[in-house]
Structure formats: structure tokens, C-alpha cells
Amino acid sequence: MLPIPGLEQVRRPDIVRFSVNLIVSHEVAAGAPVVDESHPTYGNLIGKIERRAHLGVMYTDFTEIKAGAMLQASGGYLILQALDVLRQPFSWDALKRVIKTGAVTIEDPAEFYGFATAGLRPQPIPVSVKVILIGSTGIYHVLQAYEEDFSKLFKVKADFDVEVPHDERQERQYARFVAKLCREESLPHFGDDAVAEVIRQGFRFADRHDRLSLRFSMVSDLIREAGYWARKDGHPFVTRTDVEAALAHQRHRVDLPEQWIQDEIREGTLMVDLRGDVVGQVNGLSVYQLGDFCFGRPTRITARTYVGTKGVIDIQREAELAGHIHSKGVMTLAGYLAGKFADAQPFALSATLTFEQTYSEVEGDSAAVAELTAVISSLADIPVRQSLAVTGSVNQLGEVQPIGGVNEKIEGFFESCKRRGLTGKQGVIIPTRNVKHLALNRTVVEAVEAGTFAVYGVDTFDQVIELLTGVAAGERRPDGRYPPESVYGLAAARLEDMAQIVACWGEDEEAKDKIRK
């Protein structure tokens, strides 16, 4: 059979088997390699054996052996994200095997699925590599608890803070970061007032005015958006107004739920009194967390007291709408009440506490001071100023303890007051230990400076009750009693009357039982 003209095949000598497959090459003068593997699949991490197609047939040889990140980082460092490694099939076990044995064995992943094929079996390649695993605290603790080899293989743990103390050096570093980002991304440069506003927002990200946040992804987003608004307005340099515009637009894009709630407070659908005095009613402050956005709002807290021996009843807990920490806070304030007034007489009290118009679970003890104020106000029959809101937890000794979300709580109450009209008498009471966490927006700061809004810091519950009622709390006298016209004196007198009523009622019941017998 003669060959078809034009389709003759010329056979060339096969010299592939004499070639060299250089898998990894490191320059001596380049120093130790540092490899950051962003996609640690089994093949990218360990290596792979590739195949070629010829006339519909797949084939391979030793020249198709490719190195993975482990071999590329040999003699140096390999950086991996823990969550990315755990998400990839076989990657975590392969990583452990390399660290344990000190060698990389390149295999066909198809064999792990049960598809065994005749192919290459490269010998293990010795490696010496330092693996740096990056992950959150939660992932670390999960691996520590459930992966028995984790503590043996990864012996050095390093925590990195997301905040730094605020000083002049860190302010300069912030300014340099702003300038660097502007140069790299061709953004308009920032004026000194704009840099100051970015630094001020760094306090906000850290939730403290004595620290600066190191979450530069958030800072970078702010710088980019401020640059956008500066260009749109034709400014040659970014000004403080541009930074404030960026912040306002960032908030406006996500604050629809807050606007709904504030509108309902203004219209009266959510009942919150911001003027006048009411007995047994206090404005507490809540924080809502919606993804990366949180905001505060005032919440009416009410208490009713009456004769009985059931103690303080938390309606939220009874309705299974209270978290464990909130229940602890209510029980703690009950302990404070008993220690304050029941040292010489039985504690005959029944009281109910509730958050009005809340239909989801209440968690946290930051309303304990407000709840205690409502109970004391009801007992003493003394009205509470509705122009003030209060936040803070309290211990059994009457000390006011710090809480979280203080900036959002103050700004939420301020927003409600502003929509109804500022009177100059409105404000928020916070724990003194939270003063260092204040990083309020400029609108609130200007209102405080103008005297139309106030922020009070307190250390004890006595200071809280005096601010909210305008009546002296009262100190215990040598005879064990409180001044009769003080808040505690009026509350103690009412508790004494209740104790007598309960005692008389108990004696009457005993007499009736004797008659029946």
C-alpha cells in the first residue's frame, strides 16, 4: 500500500527522555523565597502531573511534572490562609503530610477518588519550608480543639492587634498612608483638615478616642470615596467637607432601617417620651447590629411595683425573649435592691420590668441601670426626667459598669431628640469608664459644645438617680435609716409599708386557718 501523497509522516528521533525537567530554580543571591499561595488547591500546593492530547489520546511523561507552592517555597516561607486550605479537598491532609515527613510526593488527585491509572510515580522530594498559616481567632480555636495534629505542627502563635495607641507618631503614619494611597491610585491629595478628619474617623473605627484603628481596608475605602467627591466638586485637594460627604453617603446607603425606626419615633408609633417627667418610666438605649452597620435607638423601659414577695419579675425572661446576660443583669439589680433596703426587715416586694414595644430577644446587661431606676422611681413614687436617656450596667454594690456601643446609643437618642426638636435639656447618661470610648460624629459634638445636648458620665447609681429625678439619693444615717425626703428614704418607707401589709396578711391567713380547723 502506497502512502498518500502529502501525508507522509517523517519520523524523528525521540530525544525527550534525554531532556531535563527543571521544576524549581532559586537564585542564590535572591535570598529565601517567600510564596503567598492565594488558591491552595491540592495541585497548586503540592504539584501536579499534567497530560497532553495527541490524536485523541492523553499521554504524559516526566517533563509534565509541575511544582507546587511547597517546592517553590523550599528553603524559605509559605504563607497560606487557613480557611482557604480547609475549603480545598485533600489540601489540609497533604499540608500536614509534607510538614510531618519533610518531603513532597507529587501524586495524581484522581487516585483519591478511586480512579487509579497507570502513570508516573515521582519519588518524594525533600523540602525545608516554614509554613505561616493566617486565620481568625475562631478558626485557631476550632483547629486547636478538633485537629489533634494542629498544636504539634504549628507551635508558634502570634496575635496582631487591630488598634494602636493614639500619639503624634501614629498620626504621622496615618498621614503617610493617605499620601501613599493617593500616589499609588492617582487620587487627589488631601489637605491637612481632610487628613485630620480621616484620623478622627480612625478613632471611630477603633471605638476609642485614645486609639487608632489598623483596619486599613476601611480607611482606604473612605480615602477613595472622599477623593471621588473632591473630583466631582472640582476641588484640587480633598477637604474635610469631602471626607464628611463620603461618610454621609456611606451611611446613607445602609441606614434605611434606622430611618424607619426614627420616623416611627417621631410620628409616635414607637412611644418614646422626650419631655416631661413620668413615674416608673425611663428611656433606655438599645443597639441594633445589621451586618457591618449598627445604630442606636431609645427604648421605653417601665416598672410597676406592688405588694407581694415575688421579687423583681423580668417580663422578657418570662416570655422567653431575654438572653442569659440580660437575665443576669436583672438578677444583679435585684440583689442590689435587697442589700440596700432589706438589712433590717423582710424584702416584701413584687415588681415587673419590661422593654415596651420590643418583639425580639433582648440581650446584654447595658439596660440594668435604666431598669433599676424604673423600679426605684416606682417604689418612691418620684417621676423620672424623660429628656435624659441612660445606659450602663450595675453591680450589686451600686457601681455603674461600662458597656458597648456607646457612640451609637448616644447618636441614636440625639437623632430622636433632633427630629422632635432640641430643648437644651436633653442628654445621655453613660458610665464614666466609657468616656474613653467616645468618638461621636461632628453633629453631636457641635450640639454639646453649643449647650443644646449633654453627655453625663457617672460612677455610681446614686449619681444616676439624682440626675434623673433631681432629688438627693440619700445616705444611710447611723440609725440605719435614710433621710425621709430622699429617694432612698421614700423607697424604704414604701417597702416598710409593704412588709407590714404582707405580715398582717400572713397573720390573717393563719387566723383563718385556725378557725377552719
Q: Within a 13 Å sphere around the CA of 128, how many CA atoms are in the beta-carbon half?
A: 2
**Grid cell at residue 60:** 504524559
Instruction: Please state the three-class secondary structure of 375-398 as a single string.
Output: HHHHHHCCEEECCEEECCEECCCC
Task: Give the strand pairing for 454-458 and 427-431.
Answer: parallel
Distance in angstroms (rounded) separating the CA atoms of residues 413 and 426: 9
Distance in angstroms (rounded) separating the CA atoms of residues 58 and 358: 67
Burial class (CB in 10 A: 0-12, 13-18, 19+), 153: middle
What's the first-to-final CA gap in the chain, in angstroms?
129
Of 226, 230, 232, the C-alpha closest to 249 is 226
490 Cβ contact partners less than 8 Å away, ≥ 6 residues apart: 379, 380, 381, 382, 484
Distance in angstroms (rounded) separating the CA atoms of residues 225 and 248: 11
Residue in 74, 366, 378, 416 annotated catalytic: 366
514 is known as an active-site residue = no
Other CB atoms within 10 Å distance of the CB of residue 411: 18
**Grid cell at residue 146:** 478538633
Q: Which DSSP helix (H) or strand (E) runs through 479?
A: none
Let me know: does 487 contact 376? Beta carbons within 8 Å.
Answer: yes
Distance in angstroms (rounded) separating the CA atoms of residues 464 and 399: 10
> Quick one: the chain helix, strand, coil %, rounded to 5?
45, 20, 35
List, as one string, the DSSP characters of 115-163: -------PPPEE---EEEEE--HHHHHHHHHH-TTHHHH--------SE
Distance in angstroms (rounded) separating the CA atoms of residues 333 and 345: 19
Residue in 213, 378, 409, 486 annotated catalytic: 409
409 is known as an active-site residue = yes
Catalytic residue numbers read 366, 409
